[in-house]
Amino acid sequence: MSVAWYTVQTKRHGEGRVARHLASRAIPAFLPLVEVARRRNGIRHTGLEPLFPGYLFVQMEAVDRSPHCWHAVRWSPGVQRILGVADEPVPVPDEAIQAIQERTRDLGFVRPGHRFAAGDRVRFRSGSLAGLEAILESAVPRAGRVRVLLELLGRVLRVEADELDLESA
């Protein structure tokens, strides 16, 4: 019995629905998630989103060995298609799936690192410091916060800022 992972394209925002449906049919599905931070109405919100929006992975036998499983996946609510070439599904290399699973193993999702490294020149996108440039000094233990060195009125000041308020200069 040779099983492989295949990529399933879902309808917009339908990844979770498809994964739940396949789980109810005992078909192994893998929907990797990533933690994202967004600012809405001035408030920072953290949530989980699909690592690959519109896609998830399904583990199945070859189509000729298990046509009923393929039929169940292909016609699940929210599924657009199983990716392949010329109507022939192409398996995802096991190493790729294992690498993604390893990244999600500890927390159940991927937590990205900081967007900037120490020494990077950054610019404030919003707030009272909008438009000013600074040099990133370090990350702060509080999630999503960084410390920057800002030259203002001939002095260098250390300022703590939300990473979402910065962009590369």
27, pLDDT greater than 80: yes
The whole-number pLDDT of residue 11 equals 96
Q: Which is the CATH superfamily of the domain at 3-104? A: NusG, N-terminal domain (3.30.70.940)
Q: Where are the domains of the chain?
A: 3-104, 121-168
For residue 14, give the nearest of 76, 83, 100, 70 by alpha carbon.
76
Q: Could you give the CA distance from residue 156 to residue 149 in angstroms, rounded to a whole number?
A: 6
Q: What SS3 class is residue 163?
A: helix
For residue 8, give the nearest of 77, 82, 117 by alpha carbon.
82
User: What predicted TM-score, i.e. pTM, was given to this entire model?
Assistant: 0.70
The helix (run of H) or strand (run of E) holding residue 104 is helix 94-104
141, pLDDT greater than 80: no
Assigned token pair, 80: 């657009």
Which pLDDT band holds residue 92 (cuts at 50, 70, 90)? very high
The whole-number pLDDT of residue 67 equals 87
145, pLDDT greater than 90: no
The average pLDDT across 129-141 equals: 85
Q: Which CATH number fits domain 121-168: 2.60.40.2300, 3.30.70.260, 1.10.3720.10, 2.30.30.30?
A: 2.30.30.30
The average pLDDT across 115-141 equals: 85
Q: Could you give the CA distance from residue 148 to residue 101 in angstroms, rounded to a whole number?
A: 34
26, pLDDT greater than 90: yes
Which pLDDT band holds residue 143 (cuts at 50, 70, 90)? low
Q: Could you give the CA distance from residue 46 to residue 75 in angstroms, rounded to a whole number?
A: 33
